[in-house]
C-alpha cells in the first residue's frame, strides 16, 4: 500500500511526553467535560497544557487527574496509528485544530480504547514506555487552567 500524503510536522516531540499529553487531554475531557488543551508546550524535561474551565479545580481534583493519568499509563495499553480519509473519522475525534490546508488523509493515533486523536507527532508503542506522570504545578487565571507536568522514568 502506498504511504498517504500527510502534512509535515514542525517539530519532533519526545514520544513518551507527547503520548502522556494525549492521556492527560482525554482525562481532562472525562473529568471536566472540557476540550483538549487549547495551548501546549511539550518538551522532554517538562511540559504544559492549558484548558478552558469555568472554575478552578480543587486540590483533590488535581490529585485525581494525576492518579487517573497514571492508572491509564500502568495498563500497558497499545498505541496504534492508522491512516483514514476525513470522511471516515470517528465522531468522537475533534478536528477543530487541524490547519486549513490539512491533507484529506489523516493520521489517527489510538491509545487503547482510552483516546483517539488526529495527530502527526511521535508516540510510544505502548503506555509502559511512558514512565510516571507527575503534575509539578498548576495555576488558574481567566478561566484557564495551566498544568505543568513531567515524567519520572
- Residues in the chain, pLDDT under 70: 1-11
Nearest partner of 33 among 49, 58, 54, judged by Cα: 54
Which pLDDT score, from 0 to 100, does residue 2 have? 45
C-alpha distances out from residue 78 to 28, 119, 132, Å: 20, 16, 17
DSSP-derived pairing of the beta strands 79-85 and 47-52: unpaired
Q: What is the pLDDT of residues 120-136, one digit of tens each?
A: 899 999 999 999 999 99
Which pLDDT score, from 0 to 100, does residue 53 have? 98
Amino acid at each position: 500500500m502506498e504511504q498517504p500524503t500527510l502534512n509535515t510536522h514542525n517539530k519532533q516531540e519526545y514520544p513518551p511526553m507527547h503520548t502522556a499529553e494525549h492521556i492527560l487531554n482525554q482525562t481532562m475531557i472525562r473529568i471536566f467535560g472540557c476540550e483538549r488543551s487549547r495551548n501546549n508546550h511539550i518538551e522532554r524535561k517538562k511540559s504544559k497544557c492549558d484548558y478552558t474551565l469555568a472554575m478552578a479545580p480543587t486540590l483533590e481534583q488535581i490529585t485525581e487527574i494525576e492518579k487517573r493519568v497514571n492508572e491509564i499509563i500502568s495498563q500497558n495499553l497499545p498505541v496504534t496509528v492508522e491512516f483514514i480519509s476525513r470522511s471516515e473519522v470517528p465522531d468522537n475525534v475533534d478536528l477543530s485544530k487541524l490547519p486549513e490546508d490539512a491533507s484529506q488523509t489523516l493520521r489517527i493515533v489510538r491509545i487503547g480504547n482510552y483516546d483517539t486523536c488526529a495527530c502527526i507527532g511521535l508516540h510510544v508503542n505502548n503506555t509502559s514506555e511512558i514512565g510516571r506522570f507527575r503534575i509539578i504545578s498548576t495555576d488558574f487565571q481567566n478561566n484557564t487552567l495551566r498544568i505543568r507536568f513531567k515524567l519520572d522514568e
